A and B are shown apart, each in its own frame.
Chain A
Amino acid sequence: MFKSPAKLFQLVITLLACAFLLIPTLQSALAGVTVNYFRGVSSGLTFKWIIEVWALYSGSIFLSIWLALACLMCTLIIGVPAAYALARNPGRLSRMLEEFISLPLAIPGLALALALLQLYGGWREFRMSWTFILVGHVLYTLPFMVRSVMSVLAAIDLKTLEEGAASLGAPPHRRFLDIVVPNALPGILAGALTVVTLSIGEFNLTWMLHTPFLKTLPVGLADSYASMRLEIASAYTLIFFVMIVPLLLAMQWATARAQRIMS
């Protein structure tokens, strides 16, 4: 089937791109379990580095998981009702508000972090607390939750469904809980997986917001790249891959599912 030269050329480009993206990840995975990377796999395989990473950085891994879950809670509480309100009142004002909360997608994390530091850096208890990092993560992930839920709500005839519930005697909050939330679930799921995936991998904001006592997984990674031997850095990266790749796949599955339901 790849007989024509044009198709062959496309295939080669595709494979080269795959190789460029995949080879270093495999290298990293391998280096993380190799006794001595410079001497190669022939030096033997070991879990030594992984154990060492665990001893050094398990705190940062747990902090990242904790932050991701807290971030998820916040985006659910803030994002789902907001998405409903925005979907319910489509108009210029809603459009502008949506555009504004999406700014953290467009403005580099570094600039946002500087802005937060400028305003709240002097408030010591807040600056030193994990909630300071949490604010950054919520800021960055919230637009994903809002848009994911909004796109599902836009695909169903929300207004009529709500009118149906209202004509049956349901007050506004019951309509939200009984009709809006259950029908938005595919979007909420896709949004939730996106939020967790992005929060666990967030570096740009976190690097500026973290303190020496509060290092997240990616901050720990940067730390290990700068100061640890290659095998430890690789082993740590391997742990990160093991966490993030299933999340990414689940997120892609959930997003595709939500889009299928919408069409």
Chain B
Amino acid sequence: MTLSLTNTAKTYADGTRALKPTKLDIAQGEIVSLLGPSGCGKSTLLRIIAGLETPDEGAKLLFDGEDFTRFPVEKRKVGMVFQSYALFPNMSVRGNIGYGLKMQKLPKTEINRRVDEVITLCQLEPYAARPINALSGGQRQRVALARAFAPRPRLLLLDEPLSALDAALRGQLCDELAQLLRSFGITAIFVTHDQDEAMAIADRVAVMSHGEIAQIGTPEVLYRAPQSEFVARFIGAAMPLGRHIDDNTLHFETGSLNLAGSQAGKKAFIRAEDVRLDDTGPLRAKVISVTFLGTHYRIALAGLAPDPVFALHSALSAPKVGDTVGVAINPAAILMLPSDKKAA
């Protein structure tokens, strides 16, 4: 393990617990995403790793076996991309990218060579001499990344690097960022509240909630085998299904489904793409609303759970509001999870 945190917690002076004691191990070259809603402690964890926040007593941060818990930020050799980018307005693009190298007191020619290298890598050649405030949001984001990467840090930390961009640009830059990070071959930790970003960029995703890591794993595992209601709801928006569970039967207002084995004490969840409109299906539901989304319809159904359940319906036409439709659900697609009071 190249980076290893143990017992890392943060309590603020007013007693707020921003981060509960956390353990996290990250392998060399791995890209890990910290994903969660705002206030879940993901930024706090990132800032503790960066050295911008001091963890509570008892924390231990190791890098390749070396304890750097007490190192100030400037000695940690981490590169950081800030949410607002924090580019220095008093320096040009080159000046910003070269600043970290200057701090390492490298000779001028070496600095120039390495700045050129990074500028080429990040395709910033046309902007190298420009002042920061003459750049677009996307260009700034790349400069911020280039600046953090240029000093060859041991670890690259990214704090919501795409959130300052508008939605149209975000998708495009997300793929670009994923590619660049792979080409750097660097260990990176990436904080985001957007599950699509996390899945697109990271090897492993740590889903965080209420100051702790709820589950960590590859995007596939998190999606297919969430271990808690919170993770299921947060990743892929799983919805509660059915009225109650009676041993191995999930009961609905109209009809029931058989489950594999006894599931007493658990809750059933389903994702919209697994709810199929099928007149021959065993269940009946009433259409509450129909939204046309281009490739498919999103249809809200009553009668499958206390709350409306959504179905994605790919067809040329859709039922009308008020219609009663047949619904088929593959029991294998139902997620059976322990109930979780905290998730709302």
Contact = CB atoms under 8 A, between A and B. Distances in A.
A168 B86 contact: no
Contacts of B100: 168-169
Interface stretch (A138-146, A157-165, A242-250): A157-165
Given A170-B103, A179-B90, A163 B77 contact: no
Give the size category of A's interface with B: 10 to 19
Please report whether the interface of chain A is mostly helix, strand, loop or mixed according to DSSP. Answer: helix
Interface in B212-269: none
A171 B80 contact: no
Interface of A: 156-157, 160-161, 163-171, 174, 178-179, 182-183, 185
Interface string B58-94: 0000000000000011111111101010111110000
Given A160-B84, A179-B88, A182-B90, A167 B103 contact: no
B86 A161 contact: yes
B74 A169 contact: yes
A161 B91 CA distance: 12
Interface string B83-115: 010111110000000011001100000000000
Contacts, number: 67
A165 B80 contact: no
Nearest to A168: B100
A95 B52 CA distance: 25
Contacts of A167: 50, 52, 73-74, 76, 78-80, 148, 157
Given A157-B84, A164-B80, A165-B99, A171 B74 contact: yes
B151 A169 contact: yes
Contact of A174 (B76, B84, B103, B147): B103
A174 to B, nearest CB: 7
Contact of B90 (A169, A170, A183): A183
Interface residues of B, number: 27
A36 B77 CA distance: 77
A163 B90 contact: no
Contacts of B99: 165, 168, 170, 178
Contacts of A171: 74
A88 to B, nearest CB: 14
A181 to B, nearest CB: 9
Contacts of A183: 88-90
Contacts of A170: 74, 99, 103
B84 A163 contact: no
A163 B103 contact: no
Contacts of B76: 167
User: Sorted from nearest, which 5 A-B pairs have the closest CB atoms?
Assistant: A164-B86, A168-B100, A182-B90, A169-B103, A167-B80
A202 B46 CA distance: 53
Contacts of B147: 164, 168
A87 B191 CA distance: 28
Given A157-B86, A178-B99, A169 B77 contact: yes
Nearest to A162: B86
Nearest to A167: B80
A163 B87 contact: no
B178 to A, nearest CB: 22
Residue from the set B72, B74, B77, B80 with the largest chain A CB neighbour count within 10 Å:
B74
Contacts of A169: 74-75, 77, 100, 103-104, 151
Nearest to A183: B90
A163 B88 contact: no
A164 B50 CA distance: 11
Residue from the set A165, A166, A178, A185 with the largest chain B CB neighbour count within 10 Å:
A166
Given A163-B73, A174-B103, A178-B99, A168 B151 contact: yes
Contacts of A166: 51-52, 72-74
A174 B105 CA distance: 12
Nearest to A175: B74
Residue from the set B84, B103, B148 with the largest chain A CB neighbour count within 10 Å:
B103
Residue from the set A157, A161, A174 with the largest chain B CB neighbour count within 10 Å:
A161
A161 B74 CA distance: 13
A166 B104 CA distance: 12
Given A166-B73, A168-B99, A178-B99, A161 B78 contact: no
A164 B74 contact: no
